[in-house]
Amino acid sequence: MRRAETGLRVVLSGGGSGGHLVPGLELARALLAEGHSALLLRPGRSVEQRVLEAYPGLAQHTVPLANGRLRLPLSMLRATQHARRALRDFEAQLVVALGGRGALPGALAARTMGLPLVVLEQNLVPGQANRLLARLAQRSFLAFDETREELPSRVRARAVVTGMPLRPEILRRRSPEDRARLVESLGLPEDAQRTLLIVGGSQGARALNTKLPLLLASIPAAQRRGWSFLHISGPGREEEARKAWETAGLAATVLGFSSQIGDLLSLSDLVLCRGGAMTLLELAAAGKPSVVVPYPWHRDDHQGRNAQWFAERGAARVLREEKLPSDEAAAMLAELLASEELLQTIGANAASLGRPDALREILCELGELVPETLLEPS
């Protein structure tokens, strides 16, 4: 898709977490690179700003949305009116809903204005907001074939399995010199042969911060030999994680947040993470083996369903949070730490599930939703 005489004006609606934001931001990056215009409507949570630091130059507008069921109906009405004004001022021609409650004001405003609406759904089990918006949308772009069956039957024909737009740095190859510089800048042991990366999502995970160091300490030292530990604790949770490592008697490099996830993945030989769909899709694209600890408190267990999908294909191992720490969990991790061949097999299985052309497929689909005078295929 290339810029025609007049470029497309796209609004991306949503936020609240890195998982919701990243695919939309990568779509915006591609649109801007091809001469189109993009605006992000977001609810304004602090985690959004940290993610947005990697996307300078993207126009954005905050549409606040209150928490709490009692305040939500009136807040949603006001937010939708607010979003309508933003869409008019931007002269929007298409709206992309990124998922989560924060996507609703912009998406509902689009439908009241007669604008085309599309949905990005990265999870195997769609969230409540996207289940609603799929009924209103011209297209729903999915990461998993099975997700179509989770949607209302009358909208399945409008659902397209494309995969999700990914950060390009995930796929970029690093030279040995790059790796050496990263090891030095992060303070990792220079003599470490392999690295375990622990990451709890854009906001961190207390269970991973406090329980994983103890779990690793329970594994015999001979099976941990040669491994270094790199732990992304979540903003403001660094001290929590550092105390846990100190209590466990193990050395680790702890960071609160990093926007350079591609660099961190390039260093890692095994990743221990939550089960957010974008995390798992990026690990697949990078061909990284993983142990997934799904967040256990979602009503639909969507992280558990995501993780199980990859595990059934030999592309990950699943470790439930209630097993932290336990002999069963220690045995699983010990087996992985001790076997380079097993790690390579799981990584190769993950790589086979990647969809590197997802962004291009979505851009082509968008081209079918607007007049030919606005978008022309390249």
Q: Read off the pLDDT of each residue in 180-192 and give the average, rounded to a whole number.
A: 88
> Does residue 45 have a pLDDT over 90?
no
- Give φ, ψ of 57 to 5 degrees: 95, -10
Tell me if residue 161 falls in helix, strand or coil: strand
- Label residue 192 by pLDDT band (50, 70, 90): confident
Which bin fits 51, alpha (ψ -120 to 50), beta or left (φ > 0)? alpha
Query: What is the rounded CA–CA span in Å between residue 279 and residue 92?
Result: 30
Instruction: Reduce the DSSP state of residue 251 to 3 states and report it.
Output: coil
How many angstroms separate the CA atoms of 316 and 357, rounded?
22
pLDDT score, position 367: 83
Q: What is the pLDDT of residues 171-184, one digit of tens each?
A: 888 888 988 899 89
| Tally of CA atoms within 13 A in the half-sphere of 320 that contains its CB | 9
Q: How confident is the model at residue 2 (pLDDT cuts 50, 70, 90)?
A: very low
Tell me the average pLDDT across 197-201.
90
The pLDDT of residue 272 is 97
Helix (H, G, I), strand (E, B) or coil at 275: coil
Q: Is the pLDDT of residue 3 over 60?
A: no
- β-bridge pairing 117-121 and 59-62: unpaired
pLDDT at 6: 63
Where residue 70 falls among pLDDT bands split at 50, 70, 90? Answer: low
Can you give the pLDDT at residue 42?
95
Q: What is the CATH number of domain 9-166+356-374?
A: 3.40.50.2000
Q: What is the pLDDT of residues 243-284, one digit of tens each?
A: 999 999 999 999 998 888 899 999 999 999 999 999 999 999
pLDDT tens-place string over residues 330-375? 999 999 999 999 999 999 999 999 998 999 999 999 988 875 434 4
- pLDDT tops 60 at residue 157: yes
pTM: 0.91
**CATH 3.40.50.2000 domain span(s) along the chain:** 9-166+356-374, 169-353
pLDDT digits (tens, 9 = 90+) for 210-234: 999 999 999 999 999 999 999 999 9
Q: Among 1-5, 75-79, 157-161, which is the least confidently predicted range?
A: 1-5
What is the layout of strands, in order, in the sheet containing 159-161? 59-62, 37-42, 9-13, 94-97, 117-121, 139-142, 159-161
Model confidence pLDDT, tens digit, residues 82-112: 999 999 999 999 999 999 999 999 999 999 9
What does the pLDDT read at residue 371? Answer: 59
Q: What is the mean pLDDT of residues 191-201?
A: 91
- Contact assessment for residue 198 and residue 273, using Cβ atoms and an 8 Å cutoff: yes
Average pLDDT, the chain: 91
> How big is the chain by its Cα radius of gyration, in Å?
21
Query: Looking at 123-127, 189-193, 253-257, which range is the least confident one?
Result: 189-193
Provide φ and ψ at 109, rounded to 5°. -60, -40
Beta bridge partners of 229: 196
CATH match of 169-353 with 3.30.70.60: no
Q: Which residue has the tokens 């609240």?
A: 16
DSSP reduced 3-state for 61: strand
Compute the average pLDDT of residues 299-322. 95
Q: Give the model's pLDDT for residue 378.
A: 38
Peptide bond into 325 cis (omega under 30): yes
For residues 149 and 124, is the Cβ–Cβ distance under 8 A? Answer: no
Comparing 4-8, 121-125, 137-141, 341-345, the range with the smallest average pLDDT is 4-8
